[in-house]
Chains A and B, each alone.
Chain A
Amino acid sequence: MNILVRHPVVAGALAFVASASILVLANDVWLMRLTELLIWILFAASLNFLISFSGMVSFGHAAYFGLGCYGFALSAKAGVPIIVAVMIGPLVATFAAAIYGALCVRLNKIYFAMLTLACAEITYSVIHQWYDLTGGDTGLTQFAPPSLDLGARGFALLVLACCAGGLLVIRLVLNAPLGLVIRSVGENPGRAAALGFSQRQVQWVAFVIAGSLAGVAGTLYSAFQGNAFPDYAGMRFSLAPLVMVILGGLGSFFGPVIGAIVEKGLTGVLSHYVVFWELIMGVVVITVTVYSPHGFWGLIKRVINKGAPRG
């Protein structure tokens, strides 16, 4: 166990191999569920990067997810080769994050959150009402071969690679000098400014990174579902990763992974047996925020550390 903690690279590689083997062995039902889960992990991790490490709580992260979807779907529909279309999706999201980000980082805290929400609502409205381009409420379907023609298993492995890649990027950024600056601005903007760092610039960079990763998740989601709907840029898709981050545990790197597993697992099971499952989900979220502010990841860490000597 100690080796794994001391060598995160080894631990990560092991986790990747283990996940890949699960995907290779999984049956159709689980393959479908795990693929979706992996996309959500990537999406939640990109939001977590903003919230936990950059000190920016975004209420409109779905904008970049949705633009990733539509960037991919519209370019595939226009006849762009699929391999290019999957790159256009994240690019559109990155571009939008660069513009919206420049606007949003001018403000702090709740004002920042409201601005991100406003940007997401603008995106949603445009997608919803630009009927001739996006099909409005009808959405886009049948623009690309299902699962990008890779087969369900091949596609699941691609998603795993993207998800692992995304997490790796976040990890590398966090450990690099850039990450230290991002974290210091997140923790204490005043002090960081006194050290000569421009708060806005640093936050803007973090915002663009998070937006582009959300765009990757969006593109994958659109390819997985075989469709794009305005909903993907809407409120529900902004809240879901937020709930995952909170459930998993604020301030931790692996929080969103656990959070996504818990959220998807709970909704999957509950919605199958209970009509008012959203009510139960609400109670769970409230309980976790009140009794375990560091979420499920915090709980797991507490259990592991119980036996270990302190200090």
Chain B
Amino acid sequence: MKYRMYVATVAIGLSLVTGASFAADPILIGYVGDLSGACGPYNDGNLKATRIAVDEINASGGLLGRKVELKVRDSKTNPEEATKQARESIVVDKADILTGPCTSSVLLADAAVAQEHKKLLWNSIGTTHRANIDFGNRYVYQSVANSLMEGRALAEYAATQKSWKRIATIGLDYEWPRQTIEMFKQHLKELRPDVQFVNSVWPKLGESNFGSYIPVLLNDKPDVVFGVMFGSASSNFIRQGKTYGMFERTKVFTYASTYLLKALGNDIPEGVYGWTRSPFYGIKSPAMDSFVAKFKEAHKDFPDDESIAGYDSMMQMAGAIKLAKSLDPAKLVDALAAQEYVGLRGKVSVRKLDINAYAPTFIGVTKKTPAYSFPILTDLVRIDGERVMPSEVEVARMRALAK
């Protein structure tokens, strides 16, 4: 009996002690990301950087006096799985706030769950504007340029290339390429009525053989082929394009994220026009230098664009939580919009109307340099979100159309 009393006392004592050291529950971030499947590599870099950010936040005392914890779930680049994991993240793990989606469909699936459970979701990879603009979902923060802004930014750049008169397009058949190409076309026609769009082809998502598409594109003798694709589709398109002499016969303008440049290495020819969202080599600042050094030390690799965006948006969200002194979505949105955030990408402010960051797009030309083992985009042009953000009238029109 005495022995039992002793054990009970110790147990109670211990629980009191541990209870005291974690005075408040940690702030739990539900990272529901596409760690496997087509988006795997992008989410990998994003998660690594998010972890670095969380460690830094905790090292400087956490948020609101609470520790920050990351609980990771794999949505497998599959919207149905994403719905399930996002819901479990909120209901089972008790996540306070969500992040991590990559493809547009996963982002939309997560956004619906976030709204249902009234938790804020922030996105730093996918670019669809359906959730935050069309549906007016007040629980989604879009921290990168959406496909509408990106399409316009690319058109602004293309308009300055006087020799680009005939443009052929190729895009994987899903949300992001469709929206981006549509916006690119619309905006470029306004800027340069003399530009003519010739063939467009839509290989399906997951296509790996572009042998039947490239000749069709080249047939019309375009000045430039505008390609919206990612991952293995991009690398196959470029590798197979070389065998068709595509790069000698026309110029190519395509999505060239750091991940792709690293993966292709010298397989990507020089002189390809490419765009990306946050290249570590294209933004010079002490903050960026120190982040790149830290990332290299931890992972023996340069950070991807998704890493920069992941770290940047995590820090921006941390600032907003401090400012709002709350995790309430509406207050966080107010704080995001009020905050003067200067991060790795420089100053990135947030518009309250659609909870969208005025995020930049970077466009340049591939070139080998002595500094890196892979070609990078040089002669970079940075087009800030302020230049291409849809106006309030446009937002209202899109929302009315979506109803």
Contact = CB atoms under 8 A, between A and B. Distances in A.
B174 A136 contact: yes
A305 B267 CA distance: 68
Nearest to B402: A142
A19 interface: no
Contacts of B174: 136-138
A141 B112 contact: yes
- Contact-size category for A: 10 to 19
Interface string B105-125: 100110111011000000000
Given A129-B173, A131-B178, A227-B109, A232 B80 contact: yes
A262 to B, nearest CB: 18
Given A29-B92, A229-B79, A232-B80, A141 B108 contact: yes
B365 to A, nearest CB: 31
Nearest to A137: B174
16 contacts: A136-B173, A137-B105, A138-B104, A138-B108, A138-B128, A138-B130, A142-B111, A142-B112, A142-B137, A146-B112, A225-B83, A226-B83, A227-B79, A227-B108, A227-B112, A231-B79
Interface of B: 78-80, 83, 87-88, 91-92, 104-105, 108-109, 111-113, 115-116, 128, 130-131, 135, 137, 173-175, 178, 205
A87 B175 CA distance: 29
Contacts, number: 62
Looking at B91, B135, B173, the one whose CB has the most chain A CB atoms below 10 A away is B91
Nearest to A27: B91
A28 interface: yes
B83 A227 contact: yes
A136 B109 contact: no
Interface in A140-181: 141-142, 146
B105 A139 contact: yes
Looking at A28, A137, A231, the one whose CB has the most chain B CB atoms below 10 A away is A137
Main secondary structure of the interface of B (DSSP, over half): helix
Contacts of B88: 32
Contacts of B111: 141-142
Given A139-B79, A146-B116, A227-B109, 15 more contacts: A32-B87, A32-B88, A131-B178, A137-B105, A137-B175, A138-B104, A138-B105, A142-B111, A142-B112, A142-B135, A225-B83, A226-B83, A226-B112, A227-B79, A227-B108
A216 B125 CA distance: 36
Contact of A226 (B91, B104, B116, B131): B116
B135 A138 contact: no
B296 to A, nearest CB: 28
B175 A138 contact: yes
B175 to A, nearest CB: 4
Nearest to B176: A138
B326 to A, nearest CB: 23
A225 B130 contact: no
Contacts of B78: 231
Interface string A194-235: 000000000000000000000000000000011101011000
Contacts of B91: 28-29, 32
Contacts of B137: 142
B223 to A, nearest CB: 28
